[in-house]
Amino acid sequence: MDNKTIRLAIQSKGRLNEDSLRLLKDAGIDVDDAKRKFLGKAADFPLEVLYLRDDDIPGVVEDGAADIGIVGFNEVAETGAQVEILRKLGFGKCRISLAIPKAVDYTGLDWFQGKSIATSYPSVLQGFLSRRGISAEIRVIKGSVEIAPAAGIADAIFDVVSSGGTLVSNGLREVEIVLESEAVLIVRKDLPAGKKSLLDSILFRFDAIGESRGKKYILMNIPNDRLSEAFALLPSMRSPTVMPLAAHGWSSVHSVVSEKSLWETVERLKAIGAEGILILNVDKVID
Ligand code: PRT
Ligand code: ZN
């Protein structure tokens, strides 16, 4: 690996693979989606992609076999790898929680005293239990942790949850959220100086994509005598853009609004006479 190419580790298959590749594509970095290949190359950016199991990504970045990686924060926490977390990436959101059979009367954390807990995250769990002064037996299981209580393997589980559907269909109830997680961009501790500018360029692109998340571009026609009311409703990056319409007494107003308040803003704009409202996606935002 030379100093003019940066090497990124991503999950080869699984929940984070597609979103990781999409993020790269949105950032103008097209890599061959050769899932069976171990090492891929970007066509238009000096970047190599190493396709790995998610469990291996933090360690490979720590060792410097990859310079950067995209992986769930839960894996970074579990491996304890000495890497720097540069960005949260907004996908792969989940939590690692303690769950118990739903019929059990839960009395608080003390319930776990002396119990057995099945998990694939023994290190995160041990850390949590020690901090809370609970001593329980940890049983490491690599897959299908959710069946452990029904199978008589453990009293409780500590596992990744997102919708909670898996817990419910296994007769379990989430009782303590221990760790919130999402995909993160990690970097090795001693990134060679020559690769710093490549990393900066990737961060610049990722940030522009991150900034655009949850934002919509809105344009509409407004009677000129209602413009000041419209401006009050449209907090923009600097201030809204106003262009006169050919029709006398009307202007076209353009702005960027947050998706959360979009419908409320649209209703208020309509109430002050806005017409021909268009709402468009925002791909990138560069401040
Ligand atoms: O093969 P490899 O080792 O790379 O993959 P893996 O099987 O270990 O991981 P994978 O692909 O399942 O998940 C990769 C990462 O996605 C995890 O490390 C988390 O950071 C993140 N993530 C986000 C999740 C979930 N959501 C999730 N729901 N990982 C696992 N799950 C499991 C959960 O444990 C449950 O069993 O999916 C099931 C469905 O969840 P519910 O709650 O929606 O029913
Ligand atoms: Zn894994």
Q: What local confidence, expressed as pLDDT, does residue 55 receive?
A: 96
Show the 3-state SS of 60-117.
HHHHCCCCEEEEEHHHHHHHCCCEEEEEECCCCCEEEEEEEECCCCCCCHHHHCCCEE
Q: Which atom of ligand 1 is nearest to the CA of 52?
A: 4
Sign of CA dihedral 81, 83, 85, 89: negative
pLDDT in tens, 181-234: 999 999 999 999 999 999 999 999 999 999 999 999 999 999 999 999 999 999
- Which residues 6+ apart lie within 8 Å of 69 measured at CB? 8, 9, 10, 57, 58, 60, 61, 83, 185, 186
User: Rounded mean pLDDT of 135-158?
Assistant: 96
Quote the mean pLDDT of the chain: 94
Amino acid at 107: T
pLDDT in tens, 245-284: 998 999 999 999 999 889 999 999 999 999 999 999 999 9
Q: Which atom of ligand 1 is nearest to the CA of 72?
A: 20
- Under DSSP, the state recorded for 274 is -
- Topology match between the domains 94-181 and 215-281: no
Cα–Cα nearest to 205, from 35, 42, 13: 42
Residue from 11, 36, 162, 185 whose mutation best tests the ligand 1 pocket (most atoms within 8 A of CB): 162
Whether 48 shows a pLDDT value over 80: the answer reads yes
- 159 within ligand 1 shell (Cβ under 6 A): yes
Give the range among 34-38, 144-148, 263-267 with minimum mean pLDDT: 34-38
For residue 74, how far is its CA from the centre of ligand 2 (angstroms)? Answer: 10
94-181: CATH architecture: 3-Layer(aba) Sandwich (3.40)
For residue 162, how far is its CA from the centre of ligand 1 (angstroms)? Answer: 8
For residue 160, how far is its CA from the centre of ligand 1 (angstroms)? Answer: 6
Q: What local confidence, expressed as pLDDT, does residue 33 receive?
A: 67
% of the chain at pLDDT higher than 90: 89
For residue 197, how far is its CA from the centre of ligand 2 (angstroms)? Answer: 31
Residues with CB under 5 A from ligand 2 (ion): 54-55
Q: What local confidence, expressed as pLDDT, does residue 235 receive?
A: 74
Residue from 160, 167, 170, 181 whose mutation best tests the ligand 1 pocket (most atoms within 8 A of CB): 160
Q: Residue 47 — very low, low, confident or very high, per pLDDT cuts 50/70/90?
A: very high
Q: What local confidence, expressed as pLDDT, does residue 92 receive?
A: 98
Q: What local confidence, expressed as pLDDT, does residue 239 receive?
A: 80
Q: Residue 134 — very low, low, confident or very high, per pLDDT cuts 50/70/90?
A: very high
- 71 within ligand 1 shell (Cβ under 6 A): no
Domain residue spans of the chain:
6-92+182-212, 94-181, 215-281
For residue 201, how far is its CA from the centre of ligand 1 (angstroms)? Answer: 30
Fold classified for 215-281: Alpha-Beta Plaits (3.30.70)
Greatest Cα pair distance in the chain: 79
Q: What local confidence, expressed as pLDDT, does residue 18 receive?
A: 95
Q: What local confidence, expressed as pLDDT, does residue 36 receive?
A: 60
Q: What is the pTM of this model?
A: 0.91
Q: Which atom of ligand 1 is nearest to the CA of 15?
A: 11
Q: What local confidence, expressed as pLDDT, does residue 35 receive?
A: 56
Q: What local confidence, expressed as pLDDT, does residue 82 receive?
A: 98
pLDDT in tens, 8-22: 999 999 999 999 999
Q: What local confidence, expressed as pLDDT, does residue 34 receive?
A: 62
The answer as to CATH 2.40.110.20 being correct for domain 6-92+182-212 is no
